[in-house]
Amino acid sequence: MKTEPISLMLFSNATVRAGAEDVILRLLQGLEREQFRLHLACTPELAQLLRADLPGDVTLSVLSLDRIGDLAGAYKLVRALRRHRIQILHSHMFRASFFASPLARLVKVPVILDTSHGREVWRRGWKASFVVDRFVARQVDRTIAVSDSTARYLIDQKRLPAAKIRVIHNGVEVRRYKRDELAARDLKRSLQLDENAPLLVVAGRLEPQKGHRILFEAMPSILKEFPNAHLICLGDGGLRAELEALVKAKGLDRAVRFLGYQADVSRWLASADLSILPSLFEGLPITAIESLASECPIVATGVDGTPEVVLPDETGLLVPPGDSESLAHAILQMLRHPDRAREMAKAGRQFVLDNFTVEQMVRCTQELYLESWEQYRKRRYTEKAVELPAPRAASAGAAAAATSLVARQKSSFTEKESSSWTR
């Protein structure tokens, strides 16, 4: 007998589109429709950014739920959970799970998951005790960590149950990324750059986490040896005006350009001579995976999950975070030895093909959804079976009747379980 697809909702309260939001999009694009009916609940800002790429069969619920006082947003989420009879809710980032997971438990959503995309180094004072995190974790059935480093953080620092945590690496559509020397020449020409001028790219939100200031401090040393080098900043964020002013104050405005958010960074990475990731912390950086998928050499800081992608002296170079001198030295090493840089980038592409494809990410996530759903079904069937009166040993007829009742109940639960939690 054919079973109905599971009603699955992904939730995000982000207002920008970055790595975590692209993971959500890839899941919505790649999950099997025979297994799932797909829903997305997100902010108006994120809905606008994702709408053009969102599959037509995804039901969209637009709401704002990012503060304790967002009662309208909480009401809209609860209404959407009930109206669509959501059976699995999957929130991305702790702040989203903080609001959505308890509400989902309150209205008896059968399976609740969340994804941690990395450390929250901004925690200070009582927030760094993770008491609230452990409360929210009790409302969650399974937590996905995007890297081994993130899993260790959840277990060792947040003290979440290890049995609930599953590592599923981020992935990219590798076929979209390919080195293109002809396109590189055309791109440099469009930027009015000499064909031999080193083109550096930093792709990331303009926020403190991404370490742009450290890179700008390193730029004078790079320009001293490679005066025609050019740095392209892809991304937007709250620090844009401040960083643009800093670049101008340092006299770097002729060598550094801010191009804002780019929906498709593949053509930049396919053309760049070097990708730079100067982050102060990361989960598992999509930019590093995209860079290597493009066979673009990379220099990155060795933080959190980054060394799981950028293997030192194998697929790229790593430097300590916040160290502009070490960053400049590594960048110069790559520019001085382009053949060696290309060798590492080529090895990096193969490493990505083996470990970080979007197909692997979607398959592993889907398997976790189905595994969690099956565990719920078994638990519910066991609970219902326990409620049945025990058959009398002296009466064979009564025993047969009880056995028949269990069989009918199992059949009934299998057919009707998709809606039973709402009653």
% pLDDT > 70, the chain: 90
169 close to 150: Cβ distance less than 8 angstroms: no
% pLDDT > 90, the chain: 77
**pLDDT tens figures, 263-283:** 789 989 999 999 999 999 999
Residue 185 identity: R
pTM of the model: 0.83
Mean pLDDT across 145-174: 95
SS3 165: strand
**pLDDT tens figures, 176-199:** 898 888 888 888 888 888 888 999
Average pLDDT value over all residues in the chain: 89
pLDDT at 422 over 80: no
Mean pLDDT across 222-245: 95
Lowest model confidence (mean pLDDT) among 123-137, 284-298, 301-315: 123-137
Task: Give the containing element (helix H, strand E) for 318.
Answer: strand 317-319
Q: Which tokens go with 161?
A: 């149950």
Report DSSP state, residue 65.
Answer: -
Helical H segments across 172-295, by residue range: 181-190, 212-225, 240-249, 266-271, 286-293
pLDDT at 385 over 80: no
pLDDT at 397 over 70: no
pLDDT of amino acid 390 = 54
pLDDT of amino acid 423 = 34
Lowest model confidence (mean pLDDT) among 131-135, 295-299, 379-383: 379-383
**pLDDT tens figures, 314-345:** 999 999 999 999 999 999 999 999 999 999 99
Mean pLDDT across 357-376: 97
SS3 11: strand
Measured distance CA(271)–CA(330) in Å, rounded: 20
pLDDT of amino acid 411 = 45
Give the domains, in start order, of the chain with CATH numbers.
6-168 (3.40.50.2000), 176-356 (3.40.50.2000)
If you compute the radius of gyration of the chain from its CA atoms, what whole number of angstroms results? 25
pLDDT at 419 over 70: no
pLDDT band of 387, cuts 50, 70, 90: low
pLDDT at 420 over 50: no
pLDDT of amino acid 195 = 86
pLDDT at 114 over 50: yes
Provide the CA 61 distance to its chain's centre, in angstroms: 20
User: % helix / strand / coil in the chain, to the nearest 5?
Assistant: 50, 15, 35
